[in-house]
Amino acid sequence: MIVDRRKAWLAWSSGKDCAWALHMAREMVDIDIVGLLTTVTDEYARVSMHGVREELLLAQAESISLPLHIVRIPSPCPIEAYDDLMRQALAVARSQGVGDVVFGDLFLEDVRSYRESRLREASMSAHFPLWQIDTGRLARQMLAGGMKVIVTCVDTRKLDGKMAGRAWDESFLASLPASVDPCGENGEFHTFVWDGPMFTRPAEVETGEVVEREGFVFCDVMPVKVAGGPLRPSIAP
């Protein structure tokens, strides 16, 4: 039986959850991921909240072999401005025949409801392939699947800032307080993925300066090189 596959963009943050959502979505028979959608804080040229350099974001997109659609947001970004910018991005998606967006959200009902309502306004649908999977089990599935991850941002109200810059691995998971979600779904920490089954080649990176801003500790992740050759990012309009 021939299945009509719907074109979709995937909400990309540079972190582990969206990367694993891409891995799972590529196995869905009715969805065809044709692009990545991400927000970059324009003033800093970094992925919003994760603090990841735009050049590394571009390297990920090149290794994934998907065009990257960047929404540049101001700092600070009021929700009205964010909604307007996203409406413009979704209008571009619709003009390209894209009717769906895939997200890596895990269990926050309010976040899911917000995304679904905004997509309904654009006559689009949302998909959540990781939804309500036990996050402890999911974390270990990701690691067993070959994910290589660095913690780039820590909310010091919820977790020791010294965790920024560490590898998100079994040792990291074992050291987490019981109050912290293994995948950081409550905003306890954010990550950058430098290798995994969704990439054609790993990014060679190193950790740099660690800074604290407004209660968050950020570890700068810097490119050393991309294995196999120079960056050739695919940037979409």
- Tens digit of each residue's pLDDT (9 = 90 or more) over 41-69: 999 999 988 999 999 999 999 999 999 99
Residues 108, 116 contacting (CB under 8 angstroms): no
Q: What is the pLDDT of residue 236?
A: 43
pLDDT band at 3 (very low <50, low <70, confident <90, very high): low
158: in domain = yes
Q: What is the pLDDT of residue 234?
A: 37
Mean pLDDT of the chain: 92
CA-to-CA distance for 229 and 211, rounded, in angstroms? 31
Length of the chain: 237
36: in domain = yes
pLDDT band at 228 (very low <50, low <70, confident <90, very high): very low
> Residue 161 has what DSSP assignment?
G
Quote the tokens at residue 149: 């991850």
End-to-end CA distance of the chain: 35
CA-to-CA distance for 196 and 215, rounded, in angstroms? 30
Q: What is the pLDDT of residue 232?
A: 37
Residue 63 phi, psi (nearest 5): -70, -30
pLDDT over 70 percentage in the chain: 93
134: in domain = yes
CA-to-CA distance for 24 and 133, rounded, in angstroms? 12
What's the mean pLDDT in 153-177? Answer: 97
Q: Give the total number of structural domains in the chain.
A: 1
233: in domain = no
95: in domain = yes
235: in domain = no
236: in domain = no
Query: pTM score > 0.75 for this model?
Result: yes
pLDDT over 90 percentage in the chain: 89
* Vertex 133 angle, CA 168 and 142, to 5°: 30
Give the number of other Cβ atoms within 10 Å of residue 131's Cβ.
Answer: 13
Q: In terms of residue numbers, what domain contains 151?
A: 6-226
What's the mean pLDDT in 16-23? Answer: 98
Q: How does pLDDT run across 93-125, given as a tens digit for each residue? A: 999 999 999 999 999 999 999 999 999 999 999
52: in domain = yes
Domain with residue 221: its CATH number is 3.40.50.620
| Spacing of C-alpha 134 from chain mean position | 19
pLDDT band at 224 (very low <50, low <70, confident <90, very high): confident
CA-to-CA distance for 162 and 93, rounded, in angstroms? 40
Does the structure show a pLDDT above 70 at 225? no
